Structure 1
Amino acid sequence: MPVLYGIAAATVTVTASFLLTAVLAALLRAPALRLAVVDRRRRRPVPLLGGVAVVLVTAVVAWAGDRAGVVPLGPAAGRLLAAATVVGALGLAADVWRLRRRWLLAGTAVAAACVVPYGETGPVAGALAVGWVALVTGAFRGLDHADGVAGTVGVVTAFGVGACAAVELMDGPAVLLLVLAAALAGFLLHNWHPARIALGACGSLFTGFLLTGAAVLARTGYGPVGGAGVLCALTAVPVADAVLVLLSRRLAGRPLSRGGPDHLAHRLRRLGLTAQGAVVVLGGAALCAVVVGVLAHTGRVGASTPPTTACAAAAGVLGLLQVAV
């Protein structure tokens, strides 16, 4: 009976998260256009308040389930959600007032420092985890450059990290990531090409922080080398996108902060793929890497598998680096 109750509660929670995000994202499109909160880097202005829908629904549904005792979060997941919400608010400020990247990075690092369990990781590993969470969270923001990419990769990664948390019997983070995955799926109804609304810094930073923070919690207690391999496998696509962009701009002599059509999806489009095809390829790549990360976390594959995945990602980055932009 408790099992059936848990399944029913999870089903209701996921369904509510999906439907509420789909409705709220549609409602926020008009205010975003009216307030000119749009992404002007694309060929046509796209409203940026889709992330507000993802943040609000994920936080409200998760907290409501916790307060009602239906799906208790626990202290670790509660702190993670609170810190991610603060990061999302910082991202919203960036969408509205165009904050500099260094302020976003600093704010994300401070939030990560409040989540990392130093008592179990130690000060050195904890500091490295804070830096990793901050940097990869920023990399997730870079995925919002094309229709459907950030949401698709976010959904796939949420299921993978949630599976790792479930293996460790961390029900709170696992349920929280399930709610996030449902919210992103509802958002994708409006973000599939041609996108009617985008995540913006608010939603992409919130998503990246929740995923990376939960991954660190799930890997706490494991060795640093193996842990780094699993973490990189779980977030291979955003990391590869960030590395590709940094290398491309450095080799071209352009400022790192100056945007351009040099991300993964842009280069796949240059190779002849459609916008939808690029999302499918990146989603498939994320799925393959996440599966490797989950299998490595559970000990189903050897310790050499995640480094092999990293080498494959590096080869892909070097190959796409040759594509003109």
Structure 2
Amino acid sequence: MSGAPALAAGAVACLFSATAAVPLKRLAVRWSFTDRPGGHKKHLRPTPYLGGIAIALATVLPAMAALGLADERLTAILLAASAVALLGLIDDIASLPALTRLTVETVSAIGVVLAGVELTVTGGWPDGLITVIWIVVLTNSFNLLDNMDGSLGTVAAVTAVFLAGAAFLRGQPDLGLLLVVLAGAVLGFLPHNWSPAKMFMGDAGSLFIGFVLTCSAVALVTGQGPGTTIAGLLLPTLVATVDTGVVFLSRLRAGRSPLMGGTDHVSHRLRWLGFDARSVAMLLALIAVFAGALLSVTVVGWVPPLSAAIVAGGLAVGLISLLLSVNVDTPHRPVENPPRIRERRR
């Protein structure tokens, strides 16, 4: 499949997502299906959910129409991601126990692995287990990245575009089309979620995005050597990995559960330093661009994959160390436009 059909499908997904979000927003308001301020949530008024449904539909329907069911791996990714999106929607409506969420995510990941999306680490049965764990962990890392207006949307769009480029270069055009469609769906929803957000994607959207991106990254390195595998997994997930690392280490140090909501993520620390929500989203997107560029130069053979992974790993360690020094437990510094803050933390 050439790039033209992929771009056309991506444009359809973008228009679909942007348009579908409007009636879904009205429906959410009518049903009082909104995220209300309070506790650790910093947005100022009830904000409608259901944006994730627009993203999921705008990804699955155009991708299925363009690809059909010929590729078992992509069909499994789309079906499993749809199940994860439904899980997220239910969790948005009535908070689910962590065990229930992890069980559904694990079963979905197993389905993808059985379809042939699997890391090559040991060459034996542990590879399937390692792949399932990686998919579940990183899916939730992307989910946790959805804690401020536009943050996950910008990172996801950038990551999907660079992964799509890598897929085309590695001779996997169908996977490239799926990723272009995902990027289009996310970009179509982004104006609704840009600060100040008029709509949230909720767990339905963030889990769907995280699952598709993580599975796609695994699909790109299936059967590859150690260096290519490490680079192919770390680079597309760099922002989510840094955020999860910061949260996990800071809460471990403070004796708090890493599974609870909070305002100690990378985005919140950048807000404390004085950046507004839009600047935070753009900074995170720039990190994703850097990681995506590193991925691209490894795919074309300009830089050894392991060298790129070492650079990315060093950057991740440096960012985690730097951001951990930001004490978010102290009073927040003044910002330029506090009424426009729409930070969200489940």
The reply to whether TM is greater than 0.5 is yes
Aligned residues: 317
For 2:118 and 2:316, how far apart are their aligned partners in 1? 33
Change (3 A) 1:79 1:162: same
Moved more, 164-173 or 278-287: 164-173
1:112-140 Cα deviation digits (max 9, x unpaired): 11112278844222221111111000011
Moved more, 81-90 or 34-43: 34-43
For 2:117 and 2:267, how far apart are their aligned partners in 1? 37
Of residues 29, 33, 36, the one that matches 1:33 is: 29
For 2:118 and 2:246, how far apart are their aligned partners in 1? 35
Structure 1 counterpart of 2:319: 316
For 1:104 and 1:259, how far apart are their aligned partners in 2? 15
Question: Which secondary structure does the structure 2 equivalent of 1:105 belong to?
Answer: helix
Q: What is the CA-CA distance between 1:225 and the residue it aligns to?
A: 4.5
1:88–1:202 contact (8 Å) kept in structure 2 = yes
For 2:47 and 2:323, how far apart are their aligned partners in 1? 26
The letter for the 2-side match of 1:257 is: L
Q: Does 2:50 correspond to 1:49?
A: yes
1:156–1:286 contact (8 Å) kept in structure 2 = yes
TM-score for both structures, normalised by structure 2: 0.86
1:73–1:176 contact (8 Å) kept in structure 2 = no
Of residues 76, 100, 112, the one that matches 2:97 is: 100
1:139–1:242 contact (8 Å) kept in structure 2 = yes
Structure 2 counterpart of 1:278: 280
1:239-271 Cα deviation digits (max 9, x unpaired): 111111111112122222221111111111111
2:33–2:48 contact (8 Å) kept in structure 1 = yes
2:142–2:206 contact (8 Å) kept in structure 1 = yes
For 2:100 and 2:220, how far apart are their aligned partners in 1? 28
For 1:256 and 1:32, how far apart are their aligned partners in 2? 30
Of residues 84, 91, 100, the one that matches 2:88 is: 91
Q: What is the CA-CA distance between 1:170 and the residue it aligns to?
A: 1.3
Question: Which secondary structure does the structure 2 equivalent of 1:195 belong to?
Answer: coil
1:73–1:175 contact (8 Å) kept in structure 2 = no
For 2:295 and 2:90, how far apart are their aligned partners in 1? 33
Change (3 A) 1:11 1:160: closer
Structure 2 counterpart of 1:294: 296
1:175-324 aligned within 5 A: 175-302=177-304, 303-324=306-327
The letter for the 1-side match of 2:10 is: V
Q: Which runs of 4+ in 1 moved over 4 A?
A: none
* Alignment RMSD (CA, Å): 1.9
1:73–1:171 contact (8 Å) kept in structure 2 = no
Instruction: Give ranges in structure 1 of 5+ residues lacking alignment.
Output: none
1:206-263 Cα deviation digits (max 9, x unpaired): 1111111011111011123541232111110011111111111121222222211111
Query: How high is the sequence identity, in percent, across the aligned residues?
Result: 36
For 1:114 and 1:250, how far apart are their aligned partners in 2? 33
Q: Does 2:154 correspond to 1:152?
A: yes
Greater helix proportion: 1
1:158–1:177 contact (8 Å) kept in structure 2 = yes
1:272-293 Cα deviation digits (max 9, x unpaired): 1111111111000011012212
Instruction: Give ranges in structure 2 of 5+ residues lacking alignment.
Output: 329-346
Change (3 A) 1:246 1:183: same
Question: Which secondary structure does the structure 2 equivalent of 1:115 belong to?
Answer: helix
Change (3 A) 1:102 1:229: farther
Structure 2 counterpart of 1:136: 138
Change (3 A) 1:112 1:284: same
Question: Which secondary structure does the structure 1 equivalent of 2:78 belong to?
Answer: helix
Structure 1 counterpart of 2:63: 62
Structure 1 counterpart of 2:16: 20
